Amino acid sequence: MLRNGLEPWHLIVVALVLIMLFGSKKLPDAARGLGKSMRILKSEARALKAESADPAPATATAPADAKPAPAPEAHPHTS
């Protein structure tokens, strides 16, 4: 049915329709936004892959150089 589904003239027709719908001034901004979105998606996918390959411990541990929070001072009631 779709032997030659995507021929060069199909791409030309799609490009012309996009230019007519959005105008030639908005297309570069849309392409730039799409590029940024793709970069973010790739970096998040890499982070998820790295996280699944090297899982972090389930409990969070405090850094060794962190100081514990000071205990609250007791205030006597004056009545």
Cα Rg for the chain, rounded, in angstroms? 29
Indicate whether 38 pLDDT > 90: yes
What does each C-alpha distance from 65 to 5, 41, 61, 62, 71 come to in angstroms? 62, 35, 12, 8, 18
* pLDDT tens string 7-23: 888 889 998 998 888 88
Contacts of 22 (CB under 8 A, 6+ apart): 30
Query: Sign of dihedral through CA atoms 16, 21, 27, 31?
Result: negative
Determine what percent of the chain is predicted with pLDDT higher than 70: 63
